[in-house]
Amino acid sequence: MTTLQQHSQPHPLRHSPRQKPLAPLLSIGAALLLGACAVGGRATAPATVYDFGPPAARMGTAFSYVSVEVKAPAWLDSPAIVYRLAYDDSLRLREYAASRWAGVPTQLLAQRLRQSLGTAGLNSNAALDCQVRVDVQEFAQVFEQAAVSQGRLQGEASLVDGERRLIARQSFSLRQAAGSADAAGGVRALVATSDDLAQLLAAWLSTLDRSGQLASCRAGRSMAGGAP
């Protein structure tokens, strides 16, 4: 804008009576450019960012001798909030343009599960721990109708020992109705399914513990000098 103002008045030594004054033309050009700047520089509303809320309260016994890892397909490896229209090509993945997660959903989900289960964090003894591997196959808001949707979390959890041998496997398919047909409703429904998954895993691990299937996990952590 400064450059236009500097050249808005022609130099007196270069102006002659036969030349048409440039000032009106430059004024028109400046006005057009100012209009373009106003349109191009219009502030875009920032995206609404969601996470899973405050840290989750631990559910009963802490499984400090178990670590948690969450994996998902490549299409979930971004902060996008994904939804599907079951009534209009359910094979098509769609993303909310003005809303996103605070991080990659699998990382947010893993953090939520560790908080709820009281599992081991990313520490130096993680390789010696038994591990719950959560393979997420679906984490999306699904619209059955234009105004009716639900959060869906589907996949499979596997418990492996310190040498990564399979101990047990548990599939899950969780759904929670969304309170509104938008990103906010989808996020709350998906967070609710995550808490449902934490409850399911807590009950599953407790059952395995009572049956003695976690004995090797406890022994491995004790030998590593961790919590009993």
Query: CB-based burial of residue 29 (10 Å sphere; 0-12 exposed, 13-18 middle, 19+ buried)?
Result: middle
Q: Count other C-beta atoms under 10 Å from residue 101's C-beta.
A: 20
Reading the chain (228 residues) residue by residue, the pLDDT tens digits are 333 333 333 333 344 444 445 454 444 444 444 444 444 556 677 899 999 999 888 888 889 889 999 999 999 999 999 999 999 999 999 999 999 999 999 999 999 999 999 987 655 455 567 999 999 999 999 999 999 999 999 999 999 998 889 999 999 999 999 999 999 999 999 999 999 999 999 999 999 999 999 988 877 555 555 444
Q: What does pTM read for this prediction? A: 0.77
